[in-house]
Amino acid sequence: MKKLSTCLLAFVLLIAFSTNSNEAKAQSNEGEVVISAGVGWGILHGLLTALGEGADQAGIENKAVPPIFAHIDYGINEGFSIGGAYTVAQYTFGDTWIDSTTTPGNSTIENVELQIRRTNIAVRPLFHFGNGETMDLYAGPRIGVTMWNTEVTGSNLDPADQDYDGLGDGTNFAVQALFGARAYITDNIGANFEVGLGTAPYFVAFGLAARF
């Protein structure tokens, strides 16, 4: 939560700075391309991170990669753009123990790693509003699919552990209502902030935007 609060504060300060500048035009224009990239935070990410902290206390190694996103939006006119979005997040849990049940009189060291990956691909028709010269405010739906992949790897795996490989694989429809803003500090470079409600991969996201 501390990192999230820091990002929100930085964004508010950036907006305050940008609204005092009249050098850049922030509206979405016909033919304009905006590329954005950054990181997000979602409820599932928070839950799995908390689970990972508990697992860490139990001696289970864990790694969490937060939602990383890339967007590209194309301006149809001053008030509307259409774009594509890609987001990926990954969670890994690993453990090592001595298994003395495989062969009588012998024991083996078993290493197992469970990797959960969530990938979302979507389109995002956005409506742009406001008349700020350095602020681009927008809202619209994000419509796409989320693909889940579960993989179990390691050495000397027990057959019971291998049963989890691919167990969580699948694809589901995902839709989200987006509310966002881009605050430009130059003619081409700015900060991007979004809030999303729905089943898409993040609740809040923060990154950089470049327009051409």
pLDDT of residue 153: 77
Tokens of residue 18, six digits: 């940008």
Instruction: Please tell me the pTM assigned to this model.
Output: 0.75
Measured in whole angstroms, the distance separating CA 83 from the mean position of its chain's CA atoms is: 17
Selection from 159, 79, 88, 163 nearest residue 122 by Cα:
88
> What distances in angstroms separate CA 77 from CA 73, 126, 158, 176, 178, one per listed residue?
12, 11, 58, 23, 19
pLDDT of residue 1: 47
One digit per residue, pLDDT tens: the chain, 212 residues?
444 444 444 444 444 444 444 444 555 678 899 999 999 987 766 676 666 565 555 556 777 788 999 999 999 998 999 999 999 998 887 766 556 555 555 666 667 777 889 999 999 999 998 766 788 999 999 999 999 998 887 666 566 656 666 666 889 999 999 999 999 999 899 999 999 998 878 999 999 999 99
Written in H, E and C, the secondary structure of the chain is CHHHHHHHHHHHHHHHHHCCCCCCCCCCCCCCEEEEEEEEECHHHHHHHHHHHHHHHCCCEEEEEEEEEEEEEEEEECCEEEEEEEEEEEEEEEEEEEECCCCCCCCEEEEEEEEEEEEEEEEEEEEEECCCCCEEEEEEEEEEEEEEEEEEEEECCCHHHHCCCCCCCEEEEEEEEEEEEEEECCCCEEEEEEEEEECCCCCEEEEEEEEC
pLDDT of residue 157: 59
